[in-house]
Structure 1
Amino acid sequence: MNTMFNLQQYALQELKDTYNEHEIKYLCSHLFCKMLHCTNIEIHLNKYELLEKRFVDNFVAMVAELKTNKPVQYVLGETEFLGVDIQLNNETLIPRPETEELVMWVAGSGLRAGAKVLDVGTGSGCIIITLGKMIQGLELHGADISAEAIRQARENARINGVEVHFYERDILRHETWDWPDFDVIVSNPPYVRVSEKALMHERVLGYEPHRALFVADEDPLVFYRVIAEFGRSHLKSGGLLFFEINEAFGKEMIDLLSGMGYREVELRKDIHDRDRMIKAKWTK
């Protein structure tokens, strides 16, 4: 078991009860590319070449982790977000494709150098760091309740050469601290209702931080309401508020933001035709 071909056959056998064949082959290619710093073409060309024992041992250990349903992003400790390398720890969510769509919307909203942008619930920092990579000259800020998330976000900013001001703060108690005023506030807050846990895969429930995912059924819009209230005090006139949302609450989010005095409220669907993001303008 000392070639990529042999290792893929090993993985197909070990993971057959956890993933289907197509998924296993994709996971193997992903691990090979990341661990050997090669392309899929190089994998095909070199699949019968002998590998170092160190690599083989690492691969076998990773397959053992994958067998427990641990997501490959946590096995590797990293992922890619709009082409930006983002490291993860157990206090940071795996970024989703719909979050990439949200970032593209924010980036295309007329942001210019000098604008102040705040990412609430920054987690790994993927949103704010990627915005900083996409648009030069922004003043970037990120806040999160988790000290470990902030530590990871700072490291991701350093790795990617982006300057971000990070704060360990609970947005539900935002009045505790002094904040500057912002041109844009963006957030992907907890929005999965506890009652929706039954619909979720063990790869999510077993490994992703519940504090960053779930919200009580009794008040599922609590973070949106508090952040929107924060925005009324800390968004500049004409400033924009962006949220990723639970697809079940599109209408409720429109009503919430409109009722709080926001204007030009726009609900947008993701690539799967689900209501997943919303934008609003604050005018003092």
Structure 2
Amino acid sequence: MSWLTRGRARIQQILGRRDVPDNLWTKCRGCGTMLYTKEFEANLSVCPACGHHERIGPAARFALLFDGAVFERIPVEMPADDPLKFRDLKRYPERLKAARAATGEADALALAKGTIGTVPSVVGVQDFAFLGGSMGVGVGAAFVRAAEVALAERRPFVMVTAAGGARMQEGILSLMQMPRTTVMVARLKEAGVPYVVVLTDPTTGGVTASYAMLGDVHIAEPGALIGFAGARVIESTIREKLPEGFQRAEYLLAHGMVDMVVRRHELAATLGRLLRHLTRTPEPA
């Protein structure tokens, strides 16, 4: 038993369990430092000790990116929950119900619109907490909806990715979202509507093989895992040891796979400058 566990147990004995919240402290997944949760969240969920960027959900991401944290959610008509009647250890609808209860989102991709650096924009955010951010028909529907709004209103589309790949419970239907989203990206490019991708930890599988790598500009958060297959799968296939930092944002930047690596504290300002440049919007007074 660690000193923290012993200390917590002792405090609970003295004050009573209700007086000691379970989420008072957060352990950094990068360096293991115990961080006071309120201070950690105030620092945009970035560890002050090692700079590790923890995963954050759509609500926090929207508040971070939009000017003054002011935005409007874009509703999406969700498709049928269980098209293949899939069941593993649990029925698929049960997994969806639990994910929705835990995240408050209808599916793994949430949409909103507002201004970023004074530029009216559409933002999509994948939530890794929702079944690993997996890409299913619902994610495809949300992506299409975001692109349609961007096209109709001539707004840049900023896509923030975080996914473990396609959603196995939807089989071939999940894989069909790859060409579906690719077609929408092509429509954006044909119309001259900017499409910017922000790659966060992790972005893998079919998401990387489709819309995550089709942006006009690719920005990555520090240390983000970005790739298609896992490192162990690649090593076992090529029978070679992979380079240090392989599939991390900094490695991809050095090898031309992403355009820039930007700390979370600087992301909104960087996107604002970029979107103003892409849309030829004057600098704010």
TM-score tier (shorter) = 0.3 to 0.5
Give the number of the structure whose residues are more often strand, by fraction: 1
TM superposition score normalised by structure 2:
0.34
TM superposition score normalised by structure 1:
0.34
